[in-house]
Structure 1
Amino acid sequence: SLHLGVIPVLNVPLVPELLGSFGTAHPGVSVVVEEISSTEIETALEEGRMDVGLGFVTRHSPNLRYERLCADEFALIVPESHPWAKRRTIKFADLHQQRLLQLPDSFVMRRMTDEICRKHQVRPRTVAEINAIETLLRSLAPLQAAALMPKIALRGRDGLKVKAIRLEGKNLDLEIGLLRLKGSAGNTAVAAFRELARTAIPKMVRK
């Protein structure tokens, strides 16, 4: 069996396709997938309740091995009806006092975007905090607001009528990778999943 933890922003974009490929190659392996926060994944791995995690490479825990698979970057996600929807790039400084929907600060991704805003001396106007990625994205048009998220967040969400606009600024990159406990041999299912993830995820993020 394989017990996988995945952070919310990567679940819809990556997991269905990964499960399809893994299930085809290893039909006898049962898989449990949990969508939980980065911190919860790290704790579950340390306590032996989970085999592998899929998330951002934060290197927060000295007990875990973080395996970088690829990089992505934060973009400004806007609905098609947004005044900026036709723009190709936006300077990060232009986000000052702009209407944003944000994740709560219990999310690592929110803490990352807060830090980027501080470095750019930008204070956006938080219209609402929403702890579900799908609900947040679906609320952009009704609230005429934007969101800061990795570009990969929109993969598999073609029907939402939102788009990612490239941001011009510093420290917008983030690393996506696998997490597992140091010194854990893991089982053959974990080894097989790691091999698949190394090949498949960089291609999926680049699409």
Structure 2
Amino acid sequence: MAQINFGLEDLQAFVAVADKSSFRAAAEVLCISQPALSRRIDKLESALGARLFDRTTRQVSLTNLGRPFLEQARNTLDGLENAVLRLSDNAQQRRGLITVACVPSVAHHWLPDVLQRFAAQYPSVRLRVIDESANTALASVLSGEADFGLNFVGAQEPDIDFEAVAPETYVLVLPRSHRWAKRRSVRWAELADEKMVAVSRQSGNRLLLDNALAHLAQRPVAFYEANHVTGAIGLVEAGLGVAALPSLALSSSHPTLKGVALVEPEVQRMLGLIKRKDRPLQPLAATLYGMLQTPTRGKP
């Protein structure tokens, strides 16, 4: 077994520099001097026999070896912190850290209501939300970084339990001044002559729509593209086009945009709870998981 010649404070220093992309800013966060921080990084790199950062007078960036090590360092620190918190109050089972991974639309429009109710019952429990893309959320659960997740992908993963929670329908997001804003529905075929705003081809949303609409003789053409749903909404707000997006992404109180039902066909995605099959949830995480099994106010 390889001997470990660095300490916890060296890992913390490495993560802080990676987060801030700056030795000065990281030293301020850790409340140590910049030379002391540099010594910790030097010690870690020496122990690993690898350079973790590329450093210039203007910027600090991770090397090709540093990037994958950052993920492992985060998991180590989070796991240790979680273990200490749970161990220190194991008898009461009233404290700890729960990490939930989900897509941003769920984090913004649905999850807060459930977390608020959970926090009222367990005020000493800390909650961390990883609100990233569907693939990143899935990877967080698979790696163990998250206790469980809320996602639209994962059902096909052999190591994941996917429990369906609620369907979400795709709607046409358009300005309230648009000629279709007062309609109850719009057929997909009608979008052939519209300038469309779409999310990137790497997005789970885009893949789902492409598969669902593959049979249409005339498919909508994307004139503008954004990496994320929030970016697509911004382009629609700017008047550049209309977008087919999950209904949860559009707040019902949005002042300038409206969602109109898309039909023929109606396209849905299923929101589900995901967790590792081989990793039972800790009691507090299982409690929150149970609260999320039945959507209430704010459901998709």
Using CA pairs below 8 Å that are at least 6 residues apart, which structure has the higher relative contact order?
A: 1
Structure 1 position 52, deviation (Å): 0.9
**Where do residues 1-207 of structure 1 align in structure 2 (5 Å cutoff)?**
1-155=97-251, 158-170=253-265, 172-199=267-294, 201-205=295-299
| CA distance in structure 1 between the partners assigned to 2:268 and 2:174 by the alignment | 19
| CA distance in structure 2 between the partners assigned to 1:133 and 1:205 by the alignment | 18
Max radius of gyration: which structure?
2
More strand by share: 1
Moved more, 189-198 or 116-125: 116-125
> Kindly tell me: are residues 171 and 163 of structure 1, through their superposed partners in 2, closer, same or farther at Cα, counting changes over 3 Å?
closer
| CA distance in structure 2 between the partners assigned to 1:86 and 1:113 by the alignment | 24
Structure 1 position 32, deviation (Å): 0.8
| CA distance in structure 1 between the partners assigned to 2:237 and 2:119 by the alignment | 37
The runs of 5 or more residues in structure 1 that have no matched partner are none
TM-score of the superposed pair, with normalisation by structure 1? 0.89
> How far does the alpha carbon of each residue in 1:71-117 deviate from its partner, in whole angstroms, 9 at most, with x for none?
12111111112221111111111111321111111211111112223
The runs of 5 or more residues in structure 2 that have no matched partner are 1-96
> How far does the alpha carbon of each residue in 1:123-172 deviate from its partner, in whole angstroms, 9 at most, with x for none?
222121112333321321323411111222223x6234211111112351
SS at match of 1:18: helix
Moved more, 174-183 or 128-137: 128-137
AA aligned to 1:88 is R
AA aligned to 2:293 is R
SS at match of 1:204: coil
Aligned Cα root-mean-square deviation (Å): 1.9
Structure 1 position 180, deviation (Å): 0.6
Contact 1:57–1:178 at 8 Å: present in 2 too? no
| CA distance in structure 2 between the partners assigned to 1:100 and 1:160 by the alignment | 21
- Kindly tell me the number of residue pairs found equivalent between the two proteins: 204
Q: Give the fraction of aligned pairs with identical amino acids, expressed as a percent.
A: 22
| CA distance in structure 1 between the partners assigned to 2:227 and 2:171 by the alignment | 19
Contact 1:82–1:144 at 8 Å: present in 2 too? no
Contact 2:164–2:270 at 8 Å: present in 1 too? yes
SS at match of 1:115: helix
